[in-house]
Amino acid sequence: MRVEDLDGPRVKPEAEREALETLRWLGLDWDGDLLRQSDDLDPYIDAMRTLASKRCVFPSALSRKEIEAAASAPHADEIRHETRFPPELRPDVIPTTFDDEGENWRLIVEDEEVRFEDALCGAQSFRPFSNIGDLVVWTKRGQPSYQLAVVVDDERQGVTRIVRGDDLLDSTARQILIRRALGMSHELRHLHLPLVVGEDGRRLAKRHGDTRLTAYRARGVRPERVVGLLASWCGLERTETSAREFASAFDADTMTREEIVFTSEDHAWLVS
């Protein structure tokens, strides 16, 4: 179990407790002690020192506006508010030491394709150089970026399989680049699941009503009914089931490759 709590002001103190309680309510458990990223930054600092020793990273004080002002740096992703950092903006001298934790540091991204095989989505190919360019791996808050932190933690926790939403497929390509730069040799196995959207085709949000698991729990919905709904989205029969029963019956080959739509009928089934 890992608590990723390095997202600055967006981290809410009660979120960790609520998330862990919800997992237990659903019938999920985990091995070993909880790893909370903010408890110890030393592993990430060590990773940055390794990257610096290989001349893979450099500090950059340029603001987003300054990067956008570069003629060759158009917006890469308007939704994520990402701006491509082109190689022309790299410093003339790449340092070999990581000695300024209060500055943004970027990973040098070469012009190459990153390919990997996803268990659900199939063969994937991304070119981070064209989409985002040199990506931030350390922030001026004195903390690692999400991309660096999860790479370091996956390695030290012995993670071999990653299951997450398919909106993070391009993040996998970026993390592969970081892994390679750090000299991590073993490949991870990935399975990216389709997102759950509302009937309007947009991600579930407040506009769709209160669809939080905590809200359904407060209404007296049984966890077996929630798990049963998830199981039905994975191609199994819709019936109340435990997390353990679902895990034993799950087969990625029965999963749809399309977005999952949370319908009014789904809601009615949960609260019935």
Domain boundaries of the chain, sorted by first residue: 1-32, 40-193, 196-271
- Are 16 and 5 in contact, with CB atoms under 8 Å apart? yes
The dihedral sign for the CA sequence 120, 82, 148, 54? positive
| Mean pLDDT of the residues in the chain | 91
| CA–CA dist 272, 265 (Å, integer) | 10
pLDDT tier at 79 (50, 70, 90 boundaries)? very low
The answer to whether 165 and 197 have CB atoms below 8 angstroms apart is: no
The CATH classification of domain 40-193, taken from the options 3.30.9.10, 2.50.20.10, 3.40.50.620, 1.10.10.60: 3.40.50.620
Task: Report, as an integer, the average pLDDT of 245-251.
Answer: 94
What percent of the chain shows pLDDT beyond 90? 78
- CATH architecture of the domain formed by 196-271: Orthogonal Bundle (1.10)
Cα–Cα distance between 215 and 217 in angstroms, integer? 5
Cβ-defined contacts of 14-17 (< 8 Å, 24+)? none
Residue 164: predicted pLDDT: 94
pLDDT(81) > 70: no
Contact status, residue 260 vs residue 195, Cβ threshold 8 Å: yes
What pLDDT score does 203 carry?
Answer: 86
pLDDT reading at 67 higher than 70: yes
Note the pLDDT of residue 9. 65
Residues 8-57 pLDDT 10s: 666 777 889 999 999 999 999 999 899 999 999 999 999 999 999 999 99
What is the pLDDT, as a whole number, of residue 269? 94
| pLDDT score at 78 | 47
Distances (CA, A) of 14 to 11, 62, 132, 147: 9, 34, 33, 24
- Whether residue 240 is predicted with pLDDT greater than 60 in this model: the reply is yes
Q: Which of 23-37, 59-73, 109-123 has the lowest mean pLDDT?
A: 59-73
The Cα 139–Cα 106 span in angstroms is: 9
pLDDT digits (tens, 9 = 90+) for 181-230: 999 988 899 999 999 999 999 988 888 888 999 999 999 999 999 999 99
CA-atom Rg of the chain in angstroms: 21
Tell me the whole-structure pTM to 2 decimals.
0.90
Neighbours of 259 (CB within 10 A): 12
Return the pLDDT at 209: 84
Residue 82 pLDDT grade (very low, low, confident, very high; cuts 50, 70, 90): confident
Give the pLDDT confidence of 252-267 residue by residue, as tens digits. Answer: 888 888 889 999 999 9
